[in-house]
Amino acid sequence: MSKNKETLAIVGGGSSAIMLAAHIDSTKYDVTIYERNQALGRKFLVAGKGGFNLTHSSDIADMKSKYFASTPILASLDTFTNTDFIKWLKENGIDTFVGSSKRIFPVKPTKPIQVLQAFENKIKENKIAINFNRYRNIDEPVTSR
């Protein structure tokens, strides 16, 4: 851990955490993801069983109108839009296509595990630590099971 950096804990290693960890500036923060399961993105893999969609191709204003969320959360959709996400996926080796439902899918034969591995490579590149233990509270050290 660097003395010049703030320490940051991301609790839970689902897809939200993975995206955050891929984008965080690790020159400024020492980041650890805490995940109580023995692997990241378990639900992401379950989602993939039904032919998973990664986002939707609709206009961002239209997409925002479908959400009931607080203003800062809705505003965040303007700073990293579905189009930005599609571009980011492509930069990370995941080509996509628009399905008949207008949802965005990875191009076959990209499997959920391959998409997850691409995300994991990105967070490794970004030097994010992963601790496979349950995070209880900030005052309680996370120990091995």
Ligand X SMILES: Cc1cc2nc3c(=O)[nH]c(=O)nc-3n(C[C@H](O)[C@H](O)[C@H](O)COP(=O)(O)OP(=O)(O)OC[C@H]3O[C@@H](n4cnc5c(N)ncnc54)[C@H](O)[C@@H]3O)c2cc1C
Chain residues in the site for ligand X (CB under 6 A) = 11-17, 34-37, 42-44, 46-47, 50, 52-53, 134-135
Closest approach of Cβ 35 to ligand X, in Å? 5
The strand pair at 55-56 and 103-106 is best described as antiparallel
Closest approach of Cβ 116 to ligand X, in Å? 11
Closest approach of Cβ 142 to ligand X, in Å? 8
Closest approach of Cβ 98 to ligand X, in Å? 14
Q: Which is nearer to ligand X, 50 or 109 (CB)?
A: 50
Residues 6+ apart with CB under 8 A from 6: 28, 29, 30
Q: Which is nearer to ligand X, 35 or 120 (CB)?
A: 35
DSSP code per residue over 5-64: SEEEEEE--SHHHHHHHHHS-TTTEEEEEE-SSSSS-HHHHHHHHTT---EE-S-HHHHH
CA nearest neighbour of 68 among 59, 77, 80:
77
